[in-house]
């Protein structure tokens, strides 16, 4: 007889609980996450479930319409750009933290169809969750991982990004878990080189108009639709403005095509030390610090790196 463990068995904690749930295939996913949802319904605890549209349908069937207090959202919409996921969870936490009762979440940002670039940023997101909700009101987030479709290296990274692991054999603490000090350090994972030729322009103060024109021209050449091109021009302008203000007063913009995406990369001599930069919703009264937030709302993927010689921001925009 095989016994499976769901995330419902652990003791209630006084802090943010962040668990990786390892499952094997769709049936196991539905069985175990469905049990977690059913347990939240029985305990009258609100829950937000952010998974694929197909899995939402499966889970709705699993709870047989008994979904009061259960909110579903499509991860393909919420987390197309993984940097948008933490703000969505923060909205959910802010909504329920003052009610005086526990609440939960299920979030699956990582699946086998993610591109290598998306996967890295999803893994970064998973590690930053621990920093974003350190000291926040207590709540319980379970992140499912499919051991049948994901590479072993992805499963190993999940061990590093989640303090608690839920496997078929039971629940245990992760021996590989990174502490918050490591997560908070500037992110310096190397970026791959462009797969083909690039176009490049250096810029200094007074040359933002030239930068915008350059992006607009290359976006049209790469087949980007006009509204998407306008968003990309605005996003690059924000990053280039940051380079002029905080990155040594100059920068270099490179543009290239990779698969179905147009990529714009801005390099400068600055440092990006805030691990959650671009993932915290600005205050209405805030002055400055809006650039990375805005580009994450505009672009399909944003990669931020900080190296000893300077920083790099890559903006991805699909060109369907």
Record: fold of 199-318:
Heat Shock Protein 90 (3.30.565)
* pLDDT of 305 strictly over 90: yes
Confidence tier at 9 by pLDDT (50, 70, 90): very low
| Structural domain boundaries in the chain | 17-184, 199-318
Q: What are the angstrom distances between the C-alpha of 42 and each of 8, 15, 283? A: 11, 22, 37
CATH 3.40.50.300 fits 17-184, yes or no: yes
Q: How many helices and strands in the chain, by DSSP H and E?
A: 10, 12
pTM of the model: 0.93
Partners of 316 in beta bridges:
263, 301
Retrieve residue 2's tokens: 């095989």
Place of tokens 């937000």: 48
pLDDT digits (tens, 9 = 90+) for 102-158: 899 999 999 999 999 999 999 999 999 999 999 888 899 999 999 999 999 999 999
Three-class SS of residue 79? Answer: coil
Partners of 146 in beta bridges:
23
Rounded to a whole number of angstroms, the distance between the first and last alpha carbons of the chain is 49
Look at residue 282 in the predicted model and tell me its pLDDT: 87
Contacts of 42 (CB under 8 A, 6+ apart): none
Laid out side by side, the sheet with 140-146 consists of: 70-74, 47-51, 104-107, 140-146, 17-23, 164-167, 170-173
Retrieve residue 143's tokens: 């992140």
Look at residue 101 in the predicted model and tell me its pLDDT: 80
């Amino acid at each position: 007889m095989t016994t499976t463990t769901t995330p419902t068995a652990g003791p209630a904690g006084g802090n943010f609980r962040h668990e990786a749930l390892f499952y094997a295939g769709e049936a196991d996913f539905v069985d175990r996450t469905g049990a977690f949802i059913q347990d939240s319904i029985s305990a009258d605890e609100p829950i937000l479930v952010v998974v694929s549209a197909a899995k939402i349908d499966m889970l709705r069937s699993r709870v047989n319409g008994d979904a009061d207090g259960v909110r579903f959202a499509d991860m393909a919409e919420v987390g197309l750009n993984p940097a948008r996921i933490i703000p969505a969870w923060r909205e959910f936490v802010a909504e329920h933290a003052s009610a005086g009762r526990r609440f939960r979440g299920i979030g699956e940002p990582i699946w086998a169809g993610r591109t290598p670039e998306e996967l890295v940023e999803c893994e970064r997101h998973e590690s930053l969750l621990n920093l974003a909700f350190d000291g926040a009101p207590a709540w319980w987030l379970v992140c499912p991982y499919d051991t049948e479709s994901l590479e072993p290296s992805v499963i190993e990274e999940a061990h590093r990004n989640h303090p608690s692991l839920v496997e078929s054999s039971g629940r245990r603490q992760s021996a590989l878990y990174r502490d918050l000090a490591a997560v908070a350090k500037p992110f310096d994972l190397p970026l791959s080189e462009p797969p083909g030729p690039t176009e490049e322009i250096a810029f200094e103060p007074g040359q933002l108009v030239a930068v915008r024109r350059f992006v607009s021209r290359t976006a049209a050449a790469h087949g980007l639709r006009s509204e998407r091109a306008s968003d990309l021009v605005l996003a690059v302008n924000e990053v280039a403005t940051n380079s002029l203000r905080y990155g040594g007063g100059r920068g270099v913009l490179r543009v290239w095509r990779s698969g179905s995406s147009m990529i714009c990369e801005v390099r400068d001599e600055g440092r990006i030390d805030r691990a959650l930069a671009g993932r915290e919703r600005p205050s209405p009264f805030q002055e400055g610090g809006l650039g990375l937030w805005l580009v994450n709302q505009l672009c399909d993927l944003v990669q931020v790196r900080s190296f000893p010689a300077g920083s790099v921001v890559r903006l991805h925009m699909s060109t369907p």
